[in-house]
Amino acid sequence: MLGASVASIVGLLSKDFLTLVLIALVLATPLAWWALSKWLDTFAYRENLPWWIFGAAGTLAILIAFLTVSYQSIKAALMNPVTSLRSE
């Protein structure tokens, strides 16, 4: 059998996309915390922001990105290349 396995294709593509999602989370989390803190300061009764909300949002974003990239790369890896070449 020639070529890469489905698992290696999924791993290569997932690594690249998850790196971008992690960079976005590192940049967006402090900005979101700051913006929400400023917005909550305008209310008379203020609730503190728990840290786990940002952790849950980050975990959900990583999970959605991984599932999306995995689905698309598995679909592409299992497709017959002859059908793609024939249609172009």
pLDDT of residue 1: 55
CA–CA separation, 60 and 69 (whole Å): 14
DSSP-derived letter for residue 82 is: H
Q: How far is CA 23 from CA 45, 54, 72, in A?
A: 34, 14, 22
Asked whether 61 and 25 are in contact (CB, 8 A), the reply is yes
Query: What are the tens digits of pLDDT across the range 31-83?
Result: 999 999 999 999 988 888 898 999 999 999 999 999 999 999 888 888 887 77
Higher pLDDT, 6 or 19: 19
CA–CA separation, 43 and 37 (whole Å): 11
pLDDT of residue 13: 86
